[in-house]
Structures are given as structure tokens and as C-alpha cells.
A and B are shown apart, each in its own frame.
Chain A
Amino acid sequence: MVQNERAAVLIPVQEKAGLGMTALDDFTPLVRLHQQRIYRVLLGMVRDPDAAETLTQECFLKAYQRRASFRGEASVGVWLLKIAVNLARDHRRSRLREFWHRLSSSFEDVADLEQRLPDPHASQERVLLGREEVATVWSAVERLSPQQRAIFMLRFVEGMSLEEIAEVTSLKVGTVKTHLFRAVRAIRQRLKGGGAGE
């Protein structure tokens, strides 16, 4: 399912014209096609469902505003992810906003992210272990730089190739690999009960 969705998102450049990015009516199918992935990536980056929802809207609004600048060098999916990653980075930079949001947002939502596990029928022990693992990875991911965090999400949550991630982040493949290596190492350190790593 993930593979199908990924294939659908990374629509070839040639289909840009077919997507009809000039009118509002033609823009809605584009939203429908990509909104779930954009929301998921943003959720992983900001770790806040409310913020992810707002940023998803922002992402598509920005895409609409800048649709003339879409040159077609990358697929629409990559272009949208690029906008989303930049938005998430800006959002995280705004510490003040984060502070106020933490005060006002529902803490349950954030905690929910750690609690949710795909298999509700798993044994109690497995569920607890899984929650612990997820919490550990989160604590390591939280300490990553926004760039590393984005790369980690795109690789392990979205299953994107290094080349695709390089396109989204405008980095070289080698740099992406280095960031990924550091991110995974930081998680490994956390799992071992060590320091932050990064």
C-alpha cells in the first residue's frame, strides 16, 4: 500500500500538464493525491497533529501561490515535500510559537503519537516494548537537527531513496547519507541508553 501510494505521489514530470496546475478546480485533485503523505511527513517533523494539519494547508497554499515557479525538474510530489520540509523547519525555528502552542495544545495528541501501535492484537508485553522503543526513537529524533530529522523521516517513514531525499532537501546524495548515518547512530546510542549522540 505504501509502495502504491509512493508511486502515485512521485508522478513523472511529463504529467505536470495533465495535473492542470492553473485553475483552482484542477488543484483539488492534486491536494487529494498528496495530502496524506504531506500530512504524515509534517506530523513526523513537528510531532503535533494540530500543527501538522495547519502546515499541510500552508503547504498547498504555498504550492498554489508558487505554481508558476514549478519548473518540472522534479516530480510534483518531490516539489510539495520540499515545501513541506521547509515549512516544518521554519515552524520548529519559531521557539516562541512552539512555547505558546505547547501551552494551548492538547498534550494527549502528542502523547498519542507514542501510544499508537499498528497491531492492537499484539501481546501486552510486545505493546509495552513497542511503546518504549517508539519513545526512545522519538527522544533521539527530537535531538536531531531539522535537516537530519527531515532526512530520517523521508528515509524511514516514507521509504524514499537517497536520490529522492537529495532532491527534496537540495543536498548531495553523499551529504544525505552522512546525515542519515548520524541520525541512525544517535538512535542506536539512545537504545543503548547512552547520550544524545548528535
Chain B
Amino acid sequence: MNNHLSEDQITEWTLGARDDFVSRHLETCRACSVAVEELRSAISCFRDSIHATAQRDNSFWRDQQLAIRERVSDWYPLHWAWVAAMAMVLIAAIFLTRAPNPSQNKATEDADKALLQQVQADLAREVPEALAPAVLIAEERNEILTNKEQTKSTLKKRRELK
């Protein structure tokens, strides 16, 4: 046990907390007042060294202002270019990732197949589709004529046999 200030009391005092007991003690105790002064002085020197190092000439600050201005100016169009690029990527992604419906896909495939078959049938046809009725009439007529010829020849053969 000693009668000196504790570390906490010295720290509190340095941080600005004021206490009558500590104040009175510091007036009479050289060891504690030296300890407090040492801490205060060290922090003070530290602050001054940073302030001294951070003291730069006007050209440094002017250059920095220009550099900041330049970086902000560069960023501005770049920012909008980036936004536009991202928007385009997003739109492209939406279109590309839109998945086709399987049933719709099958129906389309069937329709395509039927159309292809029809085209092939049309190409295979000897007579154009528009003349098909005329062809039918001609075929019927030929059939009738053939039948007539056959009937005639049959009757002729019978007569000869008689």
C-alpha cells in the first residue's frame, strides 16, 4: 500500500475529470505531480508533432484541391457511364434469362412440322392446287369414256357370239 494516486486517478485527471482529493494530493505529492505532468507533456508533445507535420505550404493544399477537383470531375462521367452500362447489362440479362414455356415450345414445334409436311406435299403435287378440280373432272370423264368403251366392246363380242 502507498499513499500515491492510483493509475485510474491519474488517467481520469489527465482526461479532465476534476476531483478535490486528487487536486489536494497533487499539490503536496511531488511523485504524483511528476507522473501527471509527464503524461500531460507526452500527449502534448505528440499533438504538437502531428500539428507540425501536418503543416504544409500553400502549394500542397492547392495541389490537393486540384487533385480532388480532378478526381471528382473524372468520377462524374464515369459514374454515369457505369450506371448506363449496368442498366444495359440488366436489360440484356432479363431478355437472355427469360425461360421459354415448355408446352408453348412443343406446340410451336408441331406447327412447324405440319407446315413442313404441307410444303413437301405441295411440292410433290404434279398439278397446282388451283387446277385440282379440273383434273378431277378430266379423270371422271376419262373413266366414263373408258367404261363406255368397255361396254361397247362387250356388247360387240356378245353379238358376234350369237
Q: Do A and B belong to a common assembly? A: yes
Question: Which 6 A/B pairs are nearest by Cβ-Cβ distance?
Answer: A40-B54, A137-B46, A133-B42, A118-B48, A116-B52, A60-B68
| Contact call A133/B41, Cβ cutoff below 8 A | yes
Tell me the bound Cα distance from A137 to B39 in angstroms. 9
Tell me the bound Cα distance from A181 to B49 in angstroms. 22
Question: Does A64 lie at the interface of the complex (its beta carbon under 8 Å from any beta carbon of B)?
Answer: yes
| Contact call A57/B15, Cβ cutoff below 8 A | no
How many residues on the B side are at the interface (Cβ–Cβ under 8 A)?
Answer: 36
| Contact call A117/B15, Cβ cutoff below 8 A | no
Complex contacts, B41 vs chain A, CB 8 Å: 133
Tell me the bound Cα distance from A94 to B72 in angstroms. 24
Contact for B51 among A35, A61, A118, CB less than 8 A = A118
Question: Does A82 lie at the interface of the complex (its beta carbon under 8 Å from any beta carbon of B)?
Answer: no
| Contact call B68/A181, Cβ cutoff below 8 A | no
| Contact call B69/A133, Cβ cutoff below 8 A | no
Contact for B65 among A31, A133, A136, A191, CB less than 8 A = A31
Complex contacts, B52 vs chain A, CB 8 Å: 116-118
The distance from the CB of B97 to the nearest CB of chain A, in whole angstroms, is 31
Q: When A112-B53, A188-B10 are in contact, do A137 and B45 touch as well, CB less than 8 Å?
A: yes
| Contact call A137/B48, Cβ cutoff below 8 A | no
Tell me the bound Cα distance from A56 to B67 in angstroms. 10
| Contact call A61/B72, Cβ cutoff below 8 A | yes
| Contact call A64/B72, Cβ cutoff below 8 A | yes
Q: Which of B59-89 contact A (CB under 8 A)?
A: 61, 64-65, 67-69, 71-73, 75-76, 79
Complex contacts, B64 vs chain A, CB 8 Å: 31, 35, 39, 53, 56-57
| Contact call A181/B46, Cβ cutoff below 8 A | no
Complex contacts, B7 vs chain A, CB 8 Å: 185, 188
Task: Show 8 A/B contacts (Cβ-Cβ < 8 Å), sorted by A.
Answer: A24-B72, A27-B72, A57-B67, A65-B75, A118-B49, A136-B42, A181-B8, A188-B11
| Contact call B49/A134, Cβ cutoff below 8 A | yes
By a beta-carbon cutoff of 8 Å, the part of chain A in contact with chain B is 2, 24, 27-28, 31-32, 35-36, 39-40, 43-44, 49, 53, 56-57, 60-61, 64-65, 112-114, 116-118, 130, 133-134, 136-138, 141, 153, 156-157, 177, 180-181, 184-185, 187-188, 191
| Contact call B45/A57, Cβ cutoff below 8 A | no
Nearest opposing residue in chain A for B41, CB measure: A133
Q: When A24-B69, A31-B65, A184-B14 are in contact, do A61 and B75 touch as well, CB less than 8 Å?
A: yes
Other 6 A-B pairs with CB < 8 A, given A43-B54, A118-B51? A28-B65, A31-B64, A40-B51, A133-B41, A181-B12, A184-B14
| Contact call A28/B69, Cβ cutoff below 8 A | yes
Complex contacts, A114 vs chain B, CB 8 Å: 49
The distance from the CB of A60 to the nearest CB of chain B, in whole angstroms, is 5
Tell me the bound Cα distance from A61 to B14 in angstroms. 37
Contact for B50 among A35, A113, A184, CB less than 8 A = A113
Tell me the bound Cα distance from A2 to B39 in angstroms. 21
Chain A proximity mask over B124-139: 1 for CB below 8 Å, otherwise 0? 0000000000000000
Nearest opposing residue in chain B for A32, CB measure: B65
Nearest opposing residue in chain B for A118, CB measure: B48
The distance from the CB of B156 to the nearest CB of chain A, in whole angstroms, is 111
